[in-house]
Amino acid sequence: MPTQTCCGQPAYNSGDRATARAIARQTILAFADCDYIVAPSGSCSGMLARHYPELFDDEPDLSREALAFAAKCHELVSFLVDVMGVSAVSARYDGVATYHDSCSGLRELGVKTQPRQLLASVEGLRLVEMQDSEVCCGFGGTFAVKYGELSNSIVTEKSGKIEASGADTLLAGDLGCLMNMAGKMQRLGRNVKVRHVAEVLAGMTDMPAIGEPETEPRK
């Protein structure tokens, strides 16, 4: 397994370009032998596929390398559909789910129809659309903490839309957004399970949903 750490997005979005570049170099070298680099996250994939080349736009050699690397990077679900040609999965999930379009996956990588297409093939699952599924959940990385009150206001609104959809399960393809929305709905006492879309597509929903206890909590 390549010696990977993080894609460096926290440094990049905090203005620490030097650290972001160092981590990007390390990542590009770590995956040099791979044909595809796949991440179960729209924002990490967006960092690799869209922003790495920007980090080196003043150095032609490194920029070329970053561009070649970027072309091999994919978000998980779009990789399955667009690259592997998967059109259906064999999985079962009994529930009504709604899918939140995480911003980076949607707007940087065009992830929109792919998860819906695969979810449609999951037995027992009914997909309903929430209003404004393309609107940000308010996570925004360090924004969620630096501007906690604002972030809270955005995710509170999002929680209302999720609840109004009537779904019992919320799915998305980005863990930051999922933790934000799960945390808010749990704080509000809403009874909606929150999962990464991959868990459902892989039929791995025997694990507890995000933020749920593994066994009954001790009293």
Partner 1 sequence: MTVAPTSTQFKDNAHEALNDARLQRALVHARNFIPRRSAAAERMPEFEALRDSARDIKNHTLAHLDLYLEAYEKKVLETGGHVHWARDAEHARKIFLDLCHARGAKRVTKGKSMISEEIGLNAALEADGVEAVETDLGEYIIQLRGEAPSHIIAPAIHVTRDDVEADFRKAHRDLPESRDLSQPEQLLAEARGILRDKFLTADIGVTGANFLIAETGTSVIVTNEGNGDLTQILPKVHVVIASLEKIVPTLDDAAQLLRVLARSATGQDMSVYTTLSTGPRRPGDVDGPEDYHVILLDNGRSAMLGGPFEDMLRCIRCGACMNHCPVYHQIGGHAYGWVYPGPMGAVLTPSLIGVAEGGQLPNASTFCGRCEQVCPMRIPLPKMMRHWREREFERHLTPAGARYGLGVWAFFARRPTLYRLATQAAMRALKLASRNRGRFASLPLAGGWTAHRDLAAPQGSTFQAQWRARSGATR
- Of 26 and 117, the one with the shorter C-beta distance to partner 1 is 26
User: For the stretch 78-116, what's the b/e string if a residue is b when 16 or more beta carbons lie within 10 angstroms of its beta carbon?
Assistant: bbbbbeeebeebebebebebbbbbbbbbbbbbebbebbb
Q: List the beta strands (DSSP E) in the chain.
A: 37-39, 73-75, 92-99, 123-127, 169-172, 193-196
* 11 contacts partner 1 (rule: CB under 8 A): yes
Distance in angstroms (rounded) separating the CA atoms of residues 159 and 141: 18
Among 87, 113, 131, 153, binds partner 1 (CB under 8 A): 153
By CB under 8 A, residue 146 contacts partner 1: yes
Those residues whose C-beta lies under 8 Å from the C-beta of residue 92, and which sit 6 or more positions away, are 122, 123, 124, 125, 203
Contact region with partner 1 (CB under 8 A), list: 22-30, 63-71, 118-126, 164-172:
22-30
Contact region for partner 1 (CB under 8 A) — 7-15, 73-81, 84-92, 165-173? 7-15
CA–CA dist 43, 178 (Å, integer): 12
Is 33 or 124 the residue whose CB approaches partner 1 more closely? 33
Residue with Cβ nearer partner 1 (61 or 214): 214
Instruction: Using CB under 8 A, pick the residue from 84, 128, 129, 148 that binds partner 1.
Output: 148
Contacts with partner 1, residue ranges (CB under 8 A) = 1, 3-6, 8, 10-17, 19, 22-23, 26, 30, 54, 103-104, 107-108, 134-136, 138-155, 157, 179-180, 182-184, 186-187, 207-208, 210-215, 217-218
